[in-house]
């Protein structure tokens, strides 16, 4: 049974999107979903209930399994273009495949690349706002990126 195909229509009904589904040892199912306007606890509970009913109806009832539905979390790396677009204007940490980290405000994202307005975290003075030069952007191709996530330190 393809859990992604099962979940996607249900999520779309609620203006949500599937980020990932993991089935771990012992049939522990983790569903990570999000929305352009975030995801609520009630929505997570509804998706959990829906998946439980579907799995029971398909014969999983005799199996031991658990289901956990949540957002990917603030510190999780982005996996989908929709996650990048949702976070335009936010400060991100970009880990390049060569190990270099870049920090900046995410200003654009498309199928091939992102753009950030960079800053040097070593030049940040606690308590003072970051000054952004909107004319200075760095374009980074996805093929150069290992992962991108929100930077929560600034």
Quote the CA–CA distance of 114 and 109 in Å, as a whole number.
Answer: 4
Q: Is residue 36 part of a domain?
A: yes
For residue 48, give its domain range: 3-70
Of 41, 70, 99, the residue that ends a domain is 70
Same domain, 89 and 111: yes
| pLDDT computed for residue 58 by the predictor | 84
DSSP assignment letter at 78: P
Per-residue confidence at 65, pLDDT binned at 50, 70, 90?
Answer: confident
The C-alpha atoms of residue 75 and residue 30 are separated, in whole angstroms, by 17
Same domain for 146 and 85: yes
CATH code (residue 111): 2.30.30.100
* Predicted local confidence at residue 131, as pLDDT: 79
**Does the residue 76 lie in any domain?**
no
- Within-domain flag for 75: no
Count how many domains the chain has: 2
Q: Which pLDDT belongs to residue 119?
A: 87
Last residue of a domain, one of 70, 94, 110: 70
Q: Which pLDDT tens digit goes with each residue over 27-53?
A: 899 999 999 988 999 999 999 999 999
User: pTM to 2 decimals?
Assistant: 0.84
Instruction: Write the pLDDT tens digit of every residue in 87-145.
Output: 999 999 999 999 999 999 999 999 999 999 998 887 777 778 777 877 899 999 999 99
What is the SS3 assignment for 62? helix
- Same domain for 46 and 104, yes or no, is no
Residue 28 falls within a domain, yes or no? yes
Q: Where are the beta strands (DSSP E) in the chain?
A: 16-24, 28-35, 66-70, 91-96, 101-109, 113-119, 138-141, 145-150
* Chosen domain end from 70, 95, 116: 70
Instruction: Return the CATH number at 39.
Output: 3.30.300
Q: Do 93 and 136 lie in a common domain?
A: yes
Q: Does residue 61 carry a pLDDT above 60? A: no
Q: Is residue 29 part of a domain?
A: yes
Closest C-alpha to 7, from 43, 60, 61? 43
């Amino acid at each position: 049974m393809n859990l992604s195909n099962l979940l996607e229509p249900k999520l779309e009904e609620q203006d949500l999107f599937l980020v990932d589904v993991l089935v771990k040892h012992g049939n522990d199912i983790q569903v990570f979903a999000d929305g352009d306007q975030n995801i609520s606890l009630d929505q997570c509970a509804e998706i959990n209930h829906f998946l439980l009913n579907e799995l029971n109806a398909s014969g999983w009832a005799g199996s031991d399994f658990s289901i956990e539905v949540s957002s990917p979390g603030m510190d999780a790396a982005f996996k989908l273009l929709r996650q990048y677009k949702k976070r335009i204007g936010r400060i991100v940490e970009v880990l390049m495949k060569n190990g270099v980290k870049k920090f900046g405000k995410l200003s654009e994202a498309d199928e091939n690349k992102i753009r950030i307005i960079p800053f040097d975290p070593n030049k940040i003075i606690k308590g003072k706002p970051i000054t952004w030069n909107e004319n200075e952007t760095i374009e980074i191709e996805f093929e150069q990126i290992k992962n991108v996530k929100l930077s929560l330190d600034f």
